[in-house]
Amino acid sequence: MIRVLIVDDEILVRIGLKTIIPWKENGFVLIGEAASGVEALSILREQPVDIVLTDIRMPGCDGLQLIEEIRTITPHTKCLILSNHNDFEYVQKALRLGAVDYILKLTMEPSELIDKLNSVKKTIELETEKTLEESRLKVKMNQYGREAKEKRLRELLVKQKGSGHEVREVMQEFGMRAYHAPIYVVNLRIDRYPVVLEDNDLKSEHLLSYAVANILTEIFKKYADGELLEIGNGKFSMITDRFQEAMLAEMQDAVTTFLQLSVSIGVSAPFGDIAELHPAFEQADAALGHRFYEGAGSLVFFNELRYVEPGSLPKPWTDEQWEKLLEIRDEEALLPLLEKWYHSILEGPRHRPEYERELWVHWVHIMDGFARRLGGDLYSVPLYNEMYPYHAVRSLETLEDMYLWCKGWLSVYLEYIRLLSTQQHRPEIQAVLDIIKKQYNQHLKVSELARAVGFTENYLSVLFKKETGETIVDLITRIRMEKARELLKDQTYKIYEISEMVGYGDSNYFSKQFKKMEGVYPLEFRKLYLGK
């Protein structure tokens, strides 16, 4: 509805204007009336008005003065002049001052006034739409500008590319202010992000990141100045030269309070030149990585990190000692050894987290080797907490989580190798096992395997699970992944080629299945094997 104010010093004119026009039916609403320019200005200062329908001659502040004042206080308001025959010079001046049109009082017909009001209304609607479009365009341009700036800053932080000249070029391009020493990079990560992502109430990775970013941004603006960027995968990074530790504690508290999530934080050493963004980012990441030892919700400063050289700390047992205890299935001796290892790490000194994690991967490898000597393998052990061993030790975020998982899984593993030592399959099940081992890379159906040994599909499925401890599908997957691990050691094969060679037409599905078992994607596994 277009808001109209009537201004005239004659009460009969005001009454006539209010009654001869069906205002509401034509899309107008009368928000008031005024007997003088002064009274009209008072109303205009208190509420928005789209059209002022005003007399040109009034005592005190007349129509011309009113139009001049309106241009200053509400320039979007349109003025339509009510005039007499002898007011022509005044009307011309009013039009020069910005009035949109005029109408003669004495000869005015309701239809003529409605036509003029509708014409003004159309002008207002076109201007409003144009303003909205310009506003939308401005928002969009600002958004594109922000996205472009964040993209370039992410590249400078993460990808180790960009000289000092390029960093300053980006800052100049996006109108960023100069940074003064000491400058910090701070990295933040949502703890246990894969689990959070699966369980989060927002049901959207984008909305989850948006919610966290909003909280961090509000607190960042309160304490500091700089850039806050979403890096991805539950991680954020801040660049600031106005660092306050209290800000980080408040960020952690706010995310916990409003989203019931915990956030770990790593802080770089202070640096003096904005061109050092990438090394500072790596320092902040190294500090963030120390949550492996400190646990979820940790706050770590790079300057406080102290690690020993790889291999300089002995385990409380040798591989041979561990294997001897496995031989006799001595769970009462194995569990205390595992616990002793865990506590020796907590007490320190410590290796770098990535090296310590590989020691636990080696421990899993020992368990795998022992199972294979008995004719089994690690992937046939029943899952513990829905995780395979390599996946657990490579993906669980903290040492405590990893130790507790390994401690629980050890009992499951020992029960498996006890059964493995006495296990003999009936001929039909052995025949199915032989077919799968030979034809694992083909499209095998349970119904066809059942027909090959003279069983019904349901009976074979039940009997196979009872005798082997796993389903036919799980066995096929396990054999395929075992073959894939061997093929990945040969760099001549592409990932999609290996996927096809082991029986998967969809390489993306293959990669997801591989990560579920190994804790890393195929390409990452290859890099780990090659030591890259």
- More confident position, 468 or 38: 38
- More confident position, 55 or 147: 55
Check pLDDT > 90 for residue 158. no
Nearest Cα residue to 2 out of 25, 20, 18, 19 = 25
**Predicted local distance difference test score (pLDDT) of residue 311:** 86
What is Dmax (Cα atoms) for the chain?
Answer: 119
**Predicted local distance difference test score (pLDDT) of residue 280:** 94
Cβ count within 10 A of residue 269: 18
- CATH number, domain 2-129: 3.40.50.2300
Question: Which among 79-83, 282-286, 494-498 has the top mean pLDDT?
Answer: 282-286
| Span 11-33, average pLDDT | 91
Question: Which among 27-36, 165-174, 421-430 has the top mean pLDDT?
Answer: 27-36
Cβ atoms 55, 8 nearer than 8 A: yes
Cβ atoms 179, 274 nearer than 8 A: yes
End-to-end CA distance of the chain: 68
Mean of the per-residue pLDDT values for the chain?
89
Check pLDDT > 60 for residue 532. no
Q: Where are the domains of the chain?
A: 2-129, 159-304, 319-422, 427-530
DSSP code per residue over 27-44 = TEEEEEEESSHHHHHHHH
- More confident position, 445 or 529: 445
Based on the number of CB atoms within 10 Å of its own CB, is 168 exposed (0-12), middle (13-18) or buried (19 or more)?
middle
**Predicted local distance difference test score (pLDDT) of residue 474:** 87
**Predicted local distance difference test score (pLDDT) of residue 307:** 96
Half-sphere exposure in the Cβ direction for 290 (13 Å, CA): 22
**Predicted local distance difference test score (pLDDT) of residue 26:** 92
* Tens digits of residue pLDDT in 503-525: 998 999 999 899 888 888 999 88
* Tens digits of residue pLDDT in 165-220: 778 788 877 778 888 999 999 999 999 998 888 876 656 788 888 899 999 999 99
Cβ atoms 450, 439 nearer than 8 A: no
CA 7 to chain centre: 56
**Predicted local distance difference test score (pLDDT) of residue 220:** 94
Please indicate, yes or no, whether the overall pTM of this predicted structure exceeds 0.85.
no
| Span 357-367, average pLDDT | 95
| Span 297-305, average pLDDT | 96
**Predicted local distance difference test score (pLDDT) of residue 163:** 65
**Predicted local distance difference test score (pLDDT) of residue 245:** 92
Percent share of the chain, pLDDT over 90: 49
Cβ atoms 432, 449 nearer than 8 A: yes
Nearest Cα residue to 7 out of 60, 82, 69 = 82
**Predicted local distance difference test score (pLDDT) of residue 517:** 86
Check pLDDT > 90 for residue 401. yes
The fold adopted by the segment(s) 159-304 is: Alpha-Beta Plaits (3.30.70)
Confidence of residue 293 (pLDDT cuts 50, 70, 90): very high
N residues, the chain: 532
Structure tokens at 185: 């990079």
Q: Which CATH number fits domain 427-530: 3.40.920.10, 1.10.10.60, 3.40.710.10, 3.30.365.10?
A: 1.10.10.60
